Amino acid sequence: MMQQKLLIFGLNHQSAPVAIRERLAYAENEIVPALLRLRQQAPSLAEVALLSTCNRVEIIGAGADSMRAAEESLLFLADDRAIAAETFRPALFHLEGRAAARHLFRVGASLDSMVVGEPQILGQVKAAYAQAAEAGTAGLVLHRAFHKAFSVAKHVRKTTLIGHGAVSLSSAAVSLAGKIFDTLGDKTVMLMGAGRMAELTARSLKRLGIETLLITSRTFDNAVALARELGGTAVPYDNFKPYLRMADVVIGSLAVSQPVLGPAEFEIIVKERRYRPTFLIDLGVPRNFDERLNSLENVYLYDIDDLGKVALESRDEREREALRAEPLIELEVDSFMRWLEGLELVPAIKDIRSSIEQLRAGELERHRAWLAGLAPGERARIELMTRSLVNKLLHRVLSGLRDSQNAAAERAYTAAVARRLLCRELNLDDPDTGHNSEDGAFSDALDETGEKEVRAGISMSARRRK
């Protein structure tokens, strides 16, 4: 069986513009059904999760054939989102092994975010894992990888100042609104959406002194609850457009598949406002506002990519802290890769344990007559002693296999030697060859060149340990 590798295929704000990202994005309630379809259409992925945020769409999986899995993932996204594969193929990245683990850990720790240090991404990564668990598409590798990502993120925030002064995209939106006007106290802001990002935006606006806050949401009760808490006014979603003439700033954070505002209808609002400036800040992916609104007189539209540019002004300090976090990431990548590479030893470890246990049981059977003359308590002590001896012997042998500093070759070679020697000792069939080890298969299986390379690696490991 080929070794399972951690694999990531996707695109993000660094590789693709929002015009591409929004066409591939998934709403939260679409993720689990999409995972089930992906599992069917990408059989090379033994495990799979899907991370879809404003800034990234990434398929995180485990499989042995990375190239085939990459092509299956590409074709799945193209088919599932009804977009030609060649439209986004150049923006798609393909990571495996160490690079994939490093990427996942950096994403969870907010080192790969548009706004470095923003706190929302960890919750989004946790949600992606929970959805994969719900869909039944997460297995041993993804369970370990995601939980490692969570602990890495916590460790980075605890040991660095990466969250100090960091702003999320919602905070960047508020910062932009503050730059647009000298004061927000006499301005009216309409917030479209009452989810987590909308809530963070509204709280930040209140801290800047905004007094007139209109909140609309497709779930009116959510708008009412947020408005009551923040001293705003809830507006029914099916009747929000007449209120736009009052708004100096409109912030969109709705989860929609198509823009809710277009140039034709908004041109009427511009005239009703007597061409007073209107600033539209679009936090949505897919976008809430048609990009053609920017062509209207005195209408200024900023989308999520523009917000990333706003955040650059306060980026230097967070970037310095991010550099401090990178060595922490590498240590955890090393730890994860040792664990992942150790999975290939599981069959050998089981065989070795079983073989030694057979030796122990055989020796006790050989001395059964003598043992029968002992008191029950003495027989129990001998049983305990032999089991303890086996466990201690196994611990030393297996620890050496797991902790080997020379990658997979040394471990695989050492495991094969131990397993076949034990099979020969017990006169059993070798689980790899199906032949008895006495018939010469053992010696024939040791390729001379490979043996020399492995022994050289063992020698180097021994020198390092000295």
Q: Residue 120: what pLDDT?
A: 86
User: 38 with 176, same domain?
Assistant: no
CA–CA distance, 350 with 412 (Å, rounded to integer): 14
Write down the number of H helices and E strands in the chain: 19, 10
CA–CA distance, 416 with 68 (Å, rounded to integer): 29
Averaged over 194-202, what is the pLDDT? 80
User: 364 with 394, same domain?
Assistant: yes
Closest by alpha carbon to 136, among 33, 241, 26?
33
More confident residue, 304 or 66: 66
Q: Residue 25: what pLDDT?
A: 95
User: 202 with 300, same domain?
Assistant: yes
Rg (CA), the chain: 30
User: What is the four-CA torsion angle of 86, 87, 91, 97, rounded to 10 degrees?
Assistant: -50
Q: Residue 454: what pLDDT?
A: 35
Averaged over 104-133, what is the pLDDT? 93
More confident residue, 178 or 91: 91
**Three-class secondary structure of residue 48 per DSSP:** strand
pTM surpassing 0.95?
no
Q: Is residue 465 part of a domain?
A: no
Q: Residue 450: what pLDDT?
A: 36
User: 327 with 262, same domain?
Assistant: no
The model's pLDDT over 255-287, given as tens digits with 9 standing for 90+, comes to 898 999 999 999 999 999 999 999 999 988 899
Range of the structural domain that residue 364 is part of:
345-460
Split at pLDDT 50, 70, 90, the class of 203 is: confident
User: What is the 3 state secondary structure string of 98-126?
Assistant: HHHHHHHHHHHCCCCCCCCCCCHHHHHHH
Which candidate in 24, 34, 54, 142 is catalytic? 54
Q: Residue 420: what pLDDT?
A: 58
More confident residue, 77 or 207: 77
Answer with the one of 338, 372, 400 that is the final residue of a domain.
338
Name 249's bridge partners. Answer: 189, 279
Averaged over 440-459, what is the pLDDT? 36
Lowest mean pLDDT among 25-29, 125-129, 364-368: 364-368
Averaged over 173-181, what is the pLDDT? 77
Split at pLDDT 50, 70, 90, the class of 165 is: low
**Per-residue pLDDT for 36 more than 70?**
yes
CA–CA distance, 292 with 297 (Å, rounded to integer): 11
Averaged over 20-49, what is the pLDDT? 96
Instruction: Write the CB contacts of 385 (distance below 8 Å, at least 6 apart in sequence).
Output: none
Residue with tokens 């495991």: 415
Averaged over 122-134, what is the pLDDT? 97
Q: Residue 383: what pLDDT?
A: 87
**Per-residue pLDDT for 174 more than 90?**
no
Averaged over 224-230, what is the pLDDT? 92
User: 179 with 55, same domain?
Assistant: no
CA–CA distance, 12 with 55 (Å, rounded to integer): 5
User: 360 with 435, same domain?
Assistant: yes
User: 47 with 84, same domain?
Assistant: yes
Q: Residue 401: what pLDDT?
A: 61
Compute how many other C-beta atoms are within 10 angstroms of the C-beta atom of residue 3: 12
Averaged over 126-153, what is the pLDDT? 97
Compute how many other C-beta atoms are within 10 angstroms of the C-beta atom of residue 330: 13
User: 12 with 154, same domain?
Assistant: yes
Q: In this structure, what CATH number is given to the domain that contains residue 251?
A: 3.40.50.720
User: 377 with 392, same domain?
Assistant: yes
**Per-residue pLDDT for 304 more than 90?**
no
Q: Is residue 466 part of a domain?
A: no
Closest by alpha carbon to 174, among 165, 184, 164?
184
54 catalytically annotated: yes
Compute how many other C-beta atoms are within 10 angstroms of the C-beta atom of residue 80: 16
Split at pLDDT 50, 70, 90, the class of 337 is: very high
**Per-residue pLDDT for 444 more than 50?**
no
Q: In this structure, what CATH number is given to the domain that contains residue 107?
A: 3.30.460.30
92-106, 312-326, 336-350: which is most confident: 92-106
Lowest mean pLDDT among 218-222, 355-359, 393-397: 393-397
Say if residues 156 and 326 touch (Cβ distance below 8 Å).
Answer: no
CA–CA distance, 458 with 438 (Å, rounded to integer): 26
**Three-class secondary structure of residue 226 per DSSP:** helix
User: 189 with 291, same domain?
Assistant: yes
Say if residues 314 and 165 touch (Cβ distance below 8 Å).
Answer: yes
My answer on whether omega of the bond before 431 falls inside 30° of 0, hence cis, is no
Say if residues 262 and 195 touch (Cβ distance below 8 Å).
Answer: no
**Three-class secondary structure of residue 44 per DSSP:** coil
User: 402 with 416, same domain?
Assistant: yes
Say if residues 75 and 85 touch (Cβ distance below 8 Å).
Answer: yes
Q: Residue 9: what pLDDT?
A: 98
Averaged over 374-397, what is the pLDDT? 84
Split at pLDDT 50, 70, 90, the class of 419 is: low
Lowest mean pLDDT among 4-8, 191-195, 270-274, 437-441: 437-441
More confident residue, 148 or 311: 148
**Per-residue pLDDT for 311 more than 90?**
no
Number of structural domains found in the chain: 3
